[in-house]
Amino acid sequence: MIGENYKAVQENIDKACADTGRNRDEVTLIAVSKTKPVNELMEAYNAGARDFGENYVQELVDKIPQMPADVRWHMIGHLQRNKVKYIVGKVHLIHSVDSLRLAEEISKESVKNNVVSNILLEVNVAGEESKWGGSLEETIELVKQAAQLPNIKIHGLMTVAPYVENSEDNRQVFVKLKKLSVDINAQNIDNVNMSVLSMGMTGDYIVAAQEGATLLRVGTGIFGARNYNK
Ligand SMILES: *Cc1c(COP(=O)(O)O)cnc(C)c1O
């Protein structure tokens, strides 16, 4: 079931790219596996998944040694500064950097471990109070300041769009994030290359792919509903 779901989502992405003339190689599906057991992650892995997204530091560090070494781990959940030390050097990309203080902590731990950490800056495009990330304006400032820190590399932007019944309602959110990344790129800031756009989840990943996402974060659409009460 999970393997079939994974392949069906990949086919939907193929179609979204074909419909909009995008190069399919630019778009990577991340299997968001928070709360799911390792045997279920392996079903996705066996269907071809190599990129996995997790939200909680403890769960992430528990799963890493239980999965094959060629998995690329993505930290997509809100990250507390005191937890940074547990994941630096272990993850492929941190999507959820939403403050200069967090970027500074990632930089400090990366220097200590002699690694370069790849990060995205989280943007609250719709200005929802319940969501993390800075506004469009704040993000430009954050990029400029974080770009000066050692041992981190800013690759792009991430957003968690509002929950909507109709995915079309989020199209403008994705258009705005894409435009912000183009605007920031045009400023030619040292150490910044806005080539990655992490946007789109189960309810709206097709629209996100149409609007320029390079990373799609799909959980429910691959693994089924999450049960937080287990
Ligand atoms: C849980 C989560 C997802 C996946 O959500 P689904 O709706 O299950 O696809 C994507 N991104 C973030 C940041 C998440 O926390």
Q: Are strands 152-158 and 72-75 parallel, antiparallel or unpaired?
A: unpaired
Answer whether residue 91 shows pLDDT above 90: yes
Q: What is the pLDDT of residue 230?
A: 55
Answer whether residue 124 shows pLDDT above 60: yes
pTM for the full predicted model: 0.97
The residue ranking higher by pLDDT, 16 or 228, is: 16
Answer whether residue 187 shows pLDDT above 70: yes
Q: Which ligand 1 atom sits closest to the C-alpha of 203?
A: 7
Which residue, 55, 5, 1, is CA-closest to 222? 5
To test the ligand 1 pocket, which listed residue (217, 222, 223) has its Cβ within 8 A of the most ligand atoms? 217
Q: Whose CA is nearest to atom 4 of ligand 1?
A: 219
Q: What is the pLDDT of residue 130?
A: 86
* Cα 155 to Cα 148: distance, rounded to the nearest angstrom: 14
Averaged confidence pLDDT in the chain: 96
Q: What is the pLDDT of residues 34-43, one digit of tens each?
A: 999 999 999 9
Ligand 1 pocket, residue 212 CB under 6 Å? no
Q: Which ligand 1 atom sits closest to the C-alpha of 96?
A: 13
Q: What is the pLDDT of residue 226?
A: 93
> What residues contact residue 65 under an 8 Å CB cut-off, 6+ apart?
none
Q: What integer is the mean pLDDT of 55-64?
A: 98
159-196 burial, b at 16+ Cβ within 10 Å, e below that, comes to bbbbeeeebeebbebbebbbebbeebeeeebeebebeb
Ligand 1 pocket, residue 79 CB under 6 Å? no
